[in-house]
Structure 1
């Protein structure tokens, strides 16, 4: 059962596969209620078979704002309110910028970023009214760094990062927490199930650089099932963090990344001062 006084109600997008499937099972196994969404609700039937009325299976395309609003209203009517929103639905487009089509770029932003915007916006009125809630945004270590051949995917996560950090400041007064979950490396079907760009030989070096960066980072694949315990611990934390890495090795990688950024800005600070000009009266 849930460690809380009463069972929580969760709204989880992308509940049918990958990390989301592990999280859905763990949420329900401890006695919480779950509105689980997937593009094809039929794949959620086993959950309904095991947990009955404890789970609400919803077919949802997160890029459809009307459908998102309807799904949230349905969940609120069924369970009386949403305590935890987990924006997990997404895919990972691999390819250089020039290799991606217009449609692929728009779809990446629509799903990974705008999909999270629509669901977040839909749950906020209820959370504000109750003055409680926790919004978990599934970002990526790629939301904090950028590697070649993942620029469009990472742009969607960087957008999610900026929006969510601002959101956290906007809603803290209402007792609502926002957490960006930053998975590092987990063996799921994210890559194989995602659309890919055509491969242009002109960017073979970029693909090779991506693999080299992954190896140089020293990241070790983590256990997807273990992430469920971390998600439940986040939900139970009275003061959850704005950001948390899922997996090991990320802190060292980010220390190098941010240190390099600061060093570069300091090296070119003379241009910053040139651009400033002279203040009035100086």
Structure 2
């Protein structure tokens, strides 16, 4: 059955790959980007099946207007993919106030505004699927990406709560948690804080831990996303890539061990 899919950040990377995958199989796509010229190739190839919209997701009013335009054009919105966002690289001490605020604005508030705009339409329809692009770094952390980690942890908490609130309306929520992929996320799309020399060793160790096998092929994710939106009972969380799950299993085993070690202290703090 043909779906109407609203995708933010569709000009490149995962957003563009997934938009093309939906369009090639016959779905309708609302493709958004800050610069609408970056969406011209999609419209030229797929015509009326794609609605390109200029959208800065950090603008709440603009986000609501874009969702309404999508509804008016296609009549419904079956899937929203909140893909827009970027990475801020640098130690936590290095981040300026503006860099920190901008990171949270784009990755958290931008996702929130689009989600809020879509919910009334999906509730009225009695169905919908909101897919939030989180990250494995929303479950476990790496150094040199502290503000990005924080933004994705916020997305995780917001979206897990949302799933509990909207399930009775026929609305599914899925957090997609990729490990590293060879997109331009760490290249032109990234922001880098000014260097503080004291963190050079931490950064060097971070870089040394990255190998070619750490990064997946972006185009290979399209099949997983199509299966996800076609599922009648989609998961709350879906890892993408081979690295994420084994790493998180190790992280959680360590956490559980520490929590159990301190269980008596935790129980004493209950007071009764």
The corresponding residue for 1:240 is 234
Tell whether the 8 Å contact from 1:185 to 1:219 is kept in structure 2 after alignment.
Answer: no
1:213 positional shift: 4.5
Partner of 1:28: 23
Please state how far the C-alpha of 1:214 moved relative to its aligned partner. Answer: 4.0
Equivalent of residue 126 in structure 2, options 125, 131, 137 = 131
Match of 2:99 among 88, 104, 107: 104
Among candidates 47, 51, 56, match of residue 56 of structure 1: 51
Q: Which residue of 1 aligns with 2:196?
A: 200
- Secondary structure in structure 2 of the residue aligned to 1:276: coil
For residues 46-89 of structure 1, give each alpha carbon's deviation from its aligned partner in whole angstroms, at most 9, with x where no partner exists.
11111111111001000000000000000000001110000000
Q: CA-to-partner distance for each residue in 1:205-237, whole Å, 9 max, x for gaps? A: 22123234445xx95321111111111111111
Q: CA RMSD in A?
A: 1.3
**Whole-angstrom CA distance in 2 between matches of 1:275 and 1:69:** 45
The answer to whether the aligner puts 1:145 opposite 2:148 as a matched pair is no
Q: Hey, what's the Cα distance between the residues in 2 that align with 1:243 and 1:214?
A: 24
C-alpha distance in 2 between matches for 1:85 and 1:223: 23
Q: Which TM-score applies when normalising by structure 1?
A: 0.93
Q: Which residue of 1 aligns with 2:7?
A: 12
CA distance, structure 2, for counterparts of residue 251 and residue 71 of structure 1: 35
Report Cα offsets for 1:242-277 as digits up to 9, x if no partner.
Answer: 001110022211111011111111222232133222
Stretches of structure 1 that go unaligned for 5 or more consecutive residues are none
Other-structure match for 1:257: 251
| TM-fit CA distance, 1:126 | 0.7
Determine the C-alpha separation between the residues in 1 that align with 2:207 and 2:163. Answer: 34
1:45 to 40, 43, 46: 40
Q: Take 2:40 and 2:27, find their aligned partners in 1: how far apart are those partners?
A: 18
Are the equivalent residues in 2 in contact too, given 1:184–1:219 (CA < 8 A)? no
Gaps of 5+ in 2: none
Q: Please say which of residues 65-74 and 205-214 is displaced more in the overlay.
A: 205-214
SS at match of 1:180: strand
Q: Which range moves more in the overlay, 267-276 or 147-156?
A: 267-276
Q: In structure 1, which of residues 228, 237, 240 is the aligned counterpart of residue 222 of structure 2?
A: 228
State the 1:191 CA deviation. 1.2
Take 2:30 and 2:123, find their aligned partners in 1: how far apart are those partners? 19
Size of the aligned set, in residue pairs, is: 271
Hey, what's the Cα distance between the residues in 2 that align with 1:219 and 1:65?
Answer: 39
- C-alpha change, 1:212 and 1:257, in structure 2 (3 Å) is farther
